[in-house]
A = this chain, B = another copy of it.
C-alpha cells in the first residue's frame, strides 16, 4: 500500500483507532496547556461566499498552530518512566515547535531532527521552546535514519506528526471546541496535508455532529489526498512543491482511515488562489495566517455552490510565517 522506503507502517487491521472518548480525555488533559481559541466572523467573506463562515482561530493557539493540541496530548499521556527518556520527532514545521513546547511544559527533553536547510527562524523557535536540534540531509530517508539513531541512543519516545492515535485525538479537541462555541454546522472545512486535523475533526463530528459534512482543502500542487481519495488507496507524493509548506506531507494509515470513511470531498486550490485567500484574510480580518491555513477559504470561494446558505466552520490552522519572506514580496 505504501512506498517501500517509508518506515513505521501499520497494517490496517492493526490500527488502534482513537475514539471520541479519547478526544474527551485529551481535552481535559491538555486544557491547562493550550488556549481555547476564539471564533471570528467576517462580513466580507460571508458576502463573497454566500455562506456563514465561522473561523476557528488556531493561528492564535500556543506555538502558533493547532499542532500543539496533538503534541501535548501525546506528551502528557506518557507514563513517567517513558517520559523520563524524553520525546523525539522529525519535522521542519509546526509539529517540531509544538512537541518542543509540550515537552517543556512537562519538563522532559525533546529532540528534533530537522534538515539543515530548514529556515533559521524555525530552528530558533524550536530552541526557544527548549527543543534540541540534530540536523540531517533534506531527504525523508536521512531524516528517518537520523531519528532512529537518536531513539536507539537515548530511548526517546517517537511522536509522529499525525500518524498516531494520540495526536489525532488531540487534534479532535479543536472541532469539539468549535461546536461548543457555535452550535450546529452544515459543513467543516480544514486543510489536509498528512491528515491529522481532518482525522481529528472527522472523529469528533462523526460522533457528536454526524450531519456536519467534512471537506478537506488541499493545494492542487500537493494533491496526493485528492488522488488517494478518488483512487480508494493511499497514493503518496514524495516531493510536492507548494507555498503551503505545512501540507507537503502524505496520508498514512491512521489518517487514511478517517479520510476514506468520513470525508465528503477533497477540494483543490491553485497556488495563486491560496496566496489571494491568505492576503484577503490579512487585509479584511486583520489576522496573520500562514499559507497552509488559507487553503480552506480558497476552496470555499471557488466552490460557492457547495456552501451557499450554510453555516460553515473553517479551521484557521496556524499563523507561523516568515515576515521577511511573504508570498507577495519579490523573490529574494
Which residues of A are interface residues toward B (Cβ below 8 A)?
38, 40, 59-60, 64, 279, 282-283, 285-289, 319, 323-324, 326, 328-329
Contacts and interface: CB of A to CB of B under 8 A. Distances in A.
Which 3 A-B pairs have CB atoms at the shortest separation, nearest pair first?
A: A286-B319, A286-B288, A59-B286
B286 A60 contact: yes
Contacts of A286: 59-60, 64, 287-289, 319
Nearest to A60: B286
Given A60-B285, A279-B323, A323-B326, 6 more contacts: A40-B60, A282-B288, A286-B288, A288-B288, A324-B328, A329-B329
Instruction: Give the oligomeric copy count.
Output: 2
Contacts of A323: 279, 282-283, 326, 328
Contacts of A38: 38
Task: Give the residue among A59, A279, A283 with the most B Cβ atoms within 10 A.
Answer: A283
A136 to B, nearest CB: 27
Contacts of A287: 286-288
A113 B213 CA distance: 50
A130 B328 CA distance: 28
Contacts of A329: 329
